[in-house]
Structure formats: structure tokens, C-alpha cells
Chain A
Amino acid sequence: MNGEISSPTMKISHLILALLLPFLAASQADKPKNWSLNGYVKNLQTLLFIEDNYLQDNLIHNRLNFRWFMNEELTFRADLRSRFFWGDLVKVNPLYGSLTDQASNDWLDLSAVLLDENQLVFHSVLDRFYLEYVKNNWEIRLGRQRVNWGISTVWNPNDIFNAFSFTDFDYEERPGSDAVRIKYYTGVASSIEVVAKGADQFEETVIAAKWAFNKWSYDFQFLAGYVMEDFAIGTGWAGNIGAAGFKGEATYFTPIAEGRTESFALSLGVDYAFTNSYYLNLGYLYNNNGSTDAGVGNLFNFQLSARNLYPYRHALFLQQSYPLNPLLSASLAIIYSPVQVNPLFLNPILTFSIKENWDIDAVGQIVFNEDEGYKSPVQAVFLRLKYSF
């Protein structure tokens, strides 16, 4: 394994060094900086309870966000995400390193397993790596970037470039797409954009356009394009009813290739912030691809995409959060599906600011279902310490 990984290792470390050196030297100078570097280090402890057994897992996670403002128009950005894993899950899975590597790339190979021995895995990926050109109303990006077309809360059927599961809470930045994106701002709150994602085969690409505009104090968007063997059309909005936020998204996928089914996903959300800072968020997802009779194990193991955001046909979401004081806040998300096994997913979170730049979070993911008398077969508890810089 070592032989195979030495070349990407070299590639990445050389690349980073080459990128950073001129800036480390330039930082001596007095003129305003034309670059920035920030990020964080996180330590995540996981306890996973399955029936009567439990697994313990550890992750040290570092993120470096680097930007070089080359001139008025050009910005280069490279973000490096590095993770060091050890624990029971690494132990039981000899392919942990290579599976992690496979899961973290798009079209280009910008990642490497830098260490995979003695049940320790160290993995690095450049999950943002792009050049951005901005002039007047134009914004053009080339390279690995996040194309985030979501406009609603919780579920985003419009997020066709990069769907994401909310159970993966530790990756808030989410993976990037290797794409070219051309965006033109037609007004202060309106734009047209076209994005094409790189791929070896046409079946794997996404090429789509989005039109966004603001009318009657609502943001609206319409999108259409080719999404991995489907033709997709979608719409989304973000506005309000009275003082409450009202948001939604819908996307319809028509298969182009043989042997695929059509798919329709719709999400609706209403949120309200009370003056005492208690926040309430209600949502609903309809996914016609979702199952009505699948077991509860599906929650942690299903093929995620914009056309399949949750494994069940219907899902109701309720999230509430409340800052107990400015340092400590509590939130609880509940997702219930009115289908055969009546699965219930609970996600309590406590967030505490220890001191400036130091945060600690306790997160629970608990799954219940009717078959097992609402005793939870799977429970996960996470403790996360974060230092931001």
C-alpha cells in the first residue's frame, strides 16, 4: 500500500509547499496582505452503540483555508482537509483508508492516503481548489468548488451538484465538485448561472443552468439540466409569511437512460425566531423514490443524491434551538416518517464556547422504530472539541 500512495503524497506536499512559500516570505512585508489563511483543528470522539455492543472511534481533523487575492479580478482558493483516524471502525475495516479516499474525490484526484498502517489512517484532500474571476457582474470559477443551489432549510432537492446527508454533521463545508461555473448577476438579488461538472463519462456529469430572481420580497429560482442520466427541472423559493420564514424546493427527474425510474422530491419549511431567541423550524420532505416498507437500517446506509435525500417516502422534521446563555446553546431535531416501521430519528446537540476560538459540542444521533418497541437499536454519541484560527 505504501508504494502506491507515495506519489500522491509527494504531489500534495509539494503542491502545498509551492503554494505557501511565497506568502510566508511575503508576510514579512508591511503592505496589506493579498492572501489569507485560516481554518480549524477538531477532535471528534465517537461512541457507536449497536444492540449490546459499542464501537469507539477517534478523529483529528484539520482544515486550512487558503486564499490568494491575485489582483482585483482574480482570486485563487485552496482548502486542505486532513483527517487522522483511529479506533474500532478503522480496526474492523482493513479498507478504511482506501474507502475514505474513494469517497472524497470528484473527477480530479486531489487526495491521498498519507498513512495507512497499524490501524491508523491519515488522509488529506483538497476539497476546494479553484480560480475565480470577478469583473463587474460576471463571476467565473474554474476548479473544485462547492456549487450550492439549496435555498430551503434541511432538505435541498435543488442541490443537484452536491447532495448531502444531515447525519454527516461534521463536514459542514461539504465536498466540492470539479466544475466550471459561469455566473452573471442581473441585479442586486438576481443572477443567471451555468455550471458543468467534469467527468470521464457522460453518465456521471451534471450540466445545468439556474435563474434566480427576487420578487414580492421572495427569492425564487428555476433550474434545468442534465443530472447523471436524468433530465432535471426544479424550482425553489425563500420568503416569508408574516414574520415566519417560508421556504421550499422541488425537483423532478425524468430518466434519459433505460431502466431508470422518474423521481420527484419536494421539501417545504417554515421557521420562526422568537424574541427570546428560541428558534423553531418545521419541515416536510416528499421523496417518491423513498421506501414505505424498508427497515430502519436504511437511515445510515442508503444511496444519497438530490433525487433521494431521505430513505423514506415522507419525512416530517422539527428542529428547535435555544441559547441557554450566549455560551451554551441546546438544540433538538426530530425526524419522523409516517411509513410502515414508523422510524424516528433524534438529534440532540449541545454547543458550548469554552473561550474565544474554542468550542465544544456534544451530539447525539438516536434511531427508534416501532418494530423494536421504540427501543433504539442504533445510537451514536459524538464529542467534538474545536479550535478555530
Chain B
Amino acid sequence: MKKIFLAIIGICLGMGTAYAQLPDALEVIKKADQKLRGETSSGTMKMTIVRPSWSREVTMKSWSKGTDYSLILVTGPARDKGTAFLKREKEIWNWQPTIDRTIKLPPSMMMQSWMGSDFTNDDLVRESSIVVDYTHKNLGLETIEGYPCYKIELIPKEDAPVVWGKVLIWIDQKEYMQLKTEFYDEDNYLVNTMLGREIKSLDGRLLPTIMEIIPEEDEGHKTVIEYLSLVFDKPIKETFFSIQNMKRIR
């Protein structure tokens, strides 16, 4: 009887701890970040800017290695084709093929809209990191589109290159996919919501292949990025991310 009683207590305690002991928020964020980033990644994507009365498409190729190096080549529309962006640690260069010139971008450019979309330059070249630039807190469990998710709160560190006051991310428990993200300004107002949709396997990883960013204020506005192909962990040398290569890549 005593044993049974202890066992019940044990189970209750166990359940209790299982409920209270959510996994460490930082670990979840690291896994989710690693899932999308890999050691290296390269791919092609299509971005669509949607407004109530029109839409525009931009196609691009991208390469990245960790958080420090990334290269983006615009492949369409015709007007911008060949334009490239290189990021190395904290520095960003832009290649303008029409004028044969490399332009060093001021850091303030990172928070600007990427080619008129609802994404910022930072979202594309991923200068700020959900791992490094924030402190994390696991708020509990919620279900998004049928997937049980951890809801994690991110508060930017003091000197982080981030414009948000707070970010909430929903990460599914099994595959560590980022299914929903809410961006709040410094006054705690919701500014943007990002949704991960169309879950498919890309290069053996289950991922949302469509990322949709929806500004809160503007009815009928959104920007959709669709990954057309993605390859992870193919070795890319750090020297691939050079000014010479930015001009040459096609």
C-alpha cells in the first residue's frame, strides 16, 4: 500500500515535473536555428510582395555559412538581375553590375525593407541571430496548425542590432520547425506576424517551404517567400564569400 502510495506520488511528481520542466528555451531556439541554417545552406527562392491591388515577384539564389557569411544574388526581375549582396560578419557589400561597382552599405541599411517587401535586409542576410542577440524564455505549449509547439519569448539584449522590443516564436516539439513568429515593437504592439506553411521535405529536412510575413497595420499586405530548392551542409569555403565571387557568381 505504501509502495502504491509512493508510486502514485512519484507519478504525480513526475507528471508535475514533466509539466513544469519545459525544455530550456535556448536549447529549443538553437535546434530550430540549426534546422533552418545548417552548417551551410544554399538554395533558390521566390519572393512575392502582395498588396491589395498589385503584386511583384523577385527571384534569388542564396548561400550561407553559419551566421557570419551570406551571399544573395538577385536573378529576377530583369531590371535588378545580377545585383548581389555579400555579408561577412558585421559588414555588407552590394554589387551593382550596371555601374561595375561594389558599394559598402551603412549598418543602418539592415533594418530597411528588402527590395520594397515586408522583410528587412536583416531578415534576408540574417545578421541578427535568434540565438545570440536575445534572452529566451519558454512560455509553455500551444498548438499551431495541428502541431504541438513550444511558445518562446525572445527579448533583445541591450546592444543587439535588433529593432524589436519582443519576439514570440512557436516551434514545433518534434521537428523544431518555426511555424509562427510575432514581432512586437518597443511599446509592445504587434507589428508583424510570420507564418511557416507548406511543410515539405527539402534535402531530407522537414521544413515550412513558404514563409509569409503579414504586417499587422496594413490590410491585404503581405510578403511571401517560397523556397524552391535548398541544400544543407554541402561544404562551402569561407573564401567563397568574397567580393571577387560576389561579382562572378551566376
Within 8 A of A (CB), among B90-111: 90-91, 93, 98-101, 103-109, 111
Which A residues lie within 8 Å of B57 (CB)? 356
Bound CA span A4–B80, Å? 39
| Distance between B190 CB and nearest chain A CB, rounded to angstroms | 16
Chain A stretch 106-155: residues in CB contact (< 8 A) with chain B: 134, 137, 139, 145-148, 150-151
Name the A residues within 8 Å of B109 (CB-CB).
245, 273
* A-binding segment of B25-33, B200-208, B236-244: B236-244
A225 interface residue per 8 A CB criterion? no
Residues A172 and B108 in contact, CB atoms below 8 Å apart: no
Find out whether the CB atom of B107 lies under 8 angstroms from the CB atom of A240: yes
Look across to chain B and name the residue whose beta carbon is closest to the beta carbon of A278.
B112
Q: How far is the CA of A75 from the CA of B242 in the complex (A)?
A: 19
CB-contacts of B224-250 with A (<8 A):
238-239, 241-244, 248, 250
- For B209, what are the chain A residues with a Cβ–Cβ distance below 8 Å? none
Contacting residues, chain B, for A15 (C-beta < 8 A): none
Q: Are B112 and A277 in contact (CB under 8 A)?
A: yes
A7–B77 alpha-carbon span in the complex (Å)? 38
* Separation of A32 and B108 alpha carbons in the complex (Å): 39
Complex formed: what's the CA distance from A185 to B77 in Å?
Answer: 30
Q: Closest residue to A189 on the B side, CB-wise?
A: B243
Contact B99 A274 (CB under 8 A): no
Chain B interface residue number, banded: 35 or more
Q: Is the CB of A244 within 8 A of B79?
A: no
Residues of chain A with a CB closer than 8 A to B146's CB: none
Q: Which residue of A lies closest to B239 (CB)?
A: A188
Task: Count A-B contacts at CB 8 Å.
Answer: 105
Is B88 interfacial (CB-CB < 8 Å)? yes
B157 contacts partner chain A, Cβ-Cβ < 8 Å = no
Q: Is A167 an interface residue (CB 8 A)?
A: no
Q: Does B67 sit within 8 A of A, measured CB to CB?
A: no
Does residue A261 face the partner (Cβ distance < 8 Å to B)? no
B106's closest neighbor in chain A, by CB? A245
Partner of B107, one of A139, A243, A325: A243
In the complex formed, the residue of B with least CB distance to A146 is B100
Contact call A188/B88, Cβ cutoff below 8 A: yes
Return B135 CB to nearest CB of chain A, in Å: 22
A8 contacts B by Cβ under 8 Å: no
List residues of chain A with CB within 8 A of the CB of B242.
185, 187-189
Contact of B105 among A245, A359, A388 (CB under 8 A): A245
Q: How far is the CA of A327 from the CA of B117 in the complex (A)?
A: 10
Partner of B101, one of A137, A150, A325: A150
Selected from A188, A275, A356, the residue in CB contact (under 8 A) with B111 is: A275
B-facing residues in A73-90 (Cβ within 8 Å): none
B59-86 to A contact mask, C-beta < 8 Å, 1/0: 0000000000000000001110100000
In angstroms, Cα B82 to Cα A15, docked, is: 26
Q: Within B207-233, which residues are at the interface with A (CB < 8 Å)?
A: none
Partner of A273, one of B104, B112, B117: B112
Residue on B nearest A275 in the bound complex, by CB: B111
Residues of B within 8 A of A247 (CB): 104
With the chains together, A174 CA to B108 CA distance in Å? 29
Q: Is B169 an interface residue (CB 8 A)?
A: no
Chain B: minimal CB distance from A114 (Å): 24
Q: How far is the CB of B60 from chain A (nearest CB, A)?
A: 15
Q: Which residues of chain B have C-beta atoms less than 8 A from A356's C-beta?
A: 56-57, 77
B241 and A188 within 8 A (CB) = yes
Residues of A near B241 (CB, < 8 A) are 188
A372 beta carbon closer than 8 Å to chain B? no
Contacting residues of chain A (196-253) with chain B, CB-CB under 8 angstroms = 214, 217, 219, 238-240, 242-245, 247
Write the nearest CB–CB distance from A300 to chain B, whole angstroms. Answer: 23
- Complex Cα gap A187–B242 (Å): 8
A187 cross-chain contacts in B, Cβ below 8 A: 242
Report the separation of the CA atoms of residues A69 and B250 in the bound assembly, to the nearest whole angstrom. 11
Expressed in whole angstroms, the minimum distance between the Cβ of A209 and any Cβ of chain B is: 18
How far is it, in angstroms, between the C-alpha of A274 and the C-alpha of B110 when the chains are bound? 10
Binary contact readout A351-386 vs B (1 if CB under 8 angstroms, 0 otherwise): 001011101000000000000000000000000001
Task: Check A258 for interface membership: any CB of B closer than 8 A.
Answer: no
One of A272, A327, A389 near B108 (C-beta < 8 A)? A272
Instruction: Indicate whether B54 reaches chain A with its CB closer than 8 angstroms.
Output: yes
In the assembled complex, A323 has its CB within 8 A of some CB on chain B: yes
Interchain CA distance A274-B108 in the complex, whole Å = 7
The interface residues of chain B lying within 8 Å CB-to-CB of A277 are 112-113
B163 is an interface residue with CB less than 8 A from chain A:
yes
- Is A271 located at the chain interface by the 8 A CB criterion? yes
Name the contact of B77 in the complex, choosing from A137, A145, A357 (C-beta under 8 A).
A357
Which 8 pairs from chain A and chain B are nearest by CB?
A245-B106, A326-B116, A188-B242, A243-B108, A238-B104, A388-B78, A388-B79, A146-B100
Could you list 12 examples of A-B contacts with CB < 8 Å? A40-B78, A150-B101, A188-B239, A189-B243, A243-B108, A273-B108, A273-B109, A279-B112, A356-B57, A357-B79, A359-B79, A389-B78
Interface residues, chain A, CB within 8 Å of chain B?
38, 40, 69, 134, 137, 139, 145-148, 150-151, 172-174, 185, 187-189, 191, 214, 217, 219, 238-240, 242-245, 247, 271-275, 277, 279, 323, 325-327, 353, 355-357, 359, 386, 388-389
Known pairs A189-B91, A217-B91 / 10 extra A-B pairs, C-beta < 8 Å: A146-B99, A174-B99, A185-B242, A245-B105, A247-B104, A273-B106, A273-B109, A275-B163, A323-B116, A327-B116
